[in-house]
């Protein structure tokens, strides 16, 4: 797991702060588009998967580190808080093989 940055660059080359994302749609290869919450912006996310496409031990340890250090990447439910709900959501997704 690699945390997403806090900002992105728009089509005019201007940086903007990325807040919550939802509505994730696969557009091909490792590219996805998400809707930025409470805005009129779309954000492209490029993702790479391991050979089997599943979450692995490295993903688990990366999340645990992000959780205990309070990194935004650990805010799984996107509510602005890093809490046990995020940890539970991550574990449920990890058990399904996806994060």
pLDDT at 98: 63
Antiparallel, parallel or unpaired: β 31-36 and 21-28:
antiparallel
Beta bridge partners of 43: 34
pLDDT in tens, 21-57: 777 788 877 777 888 888 888 888 776 666 666 666 7
98 or 17: which carries more pLDDT confidence?
17
> Per-residue pLDDT averaged across 57-82, rounded?
82
Other Cβ atoms within 10 Å of 63 Cβ, number: 24
pLDDT at 84: 85
pLDDT at 22: 78
Q: What is the pTM assigned to this prediction? A: 0.49
């Amino acid at each position: 797991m690699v945390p997403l940055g806090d900002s992105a660059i728009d089509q005019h080359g201007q940086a903007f702060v990325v807040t919550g994302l939802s509505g994730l749609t696969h557009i091909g290869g490792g590219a996805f588009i998400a809707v930025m919450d409470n805005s009129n912006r779309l954000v492209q996310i490029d993702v790479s998967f391991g050979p089997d496409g599943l979450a692995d031990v490295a993903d688990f340890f990366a999340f645990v580190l992000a959780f205990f250090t309070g990194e935004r990447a650990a805010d799984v439910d996107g509510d602005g808080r890093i809490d046990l709900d995020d940890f539970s959501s991550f574990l449920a997704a990890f058990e399904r093989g996806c994060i």
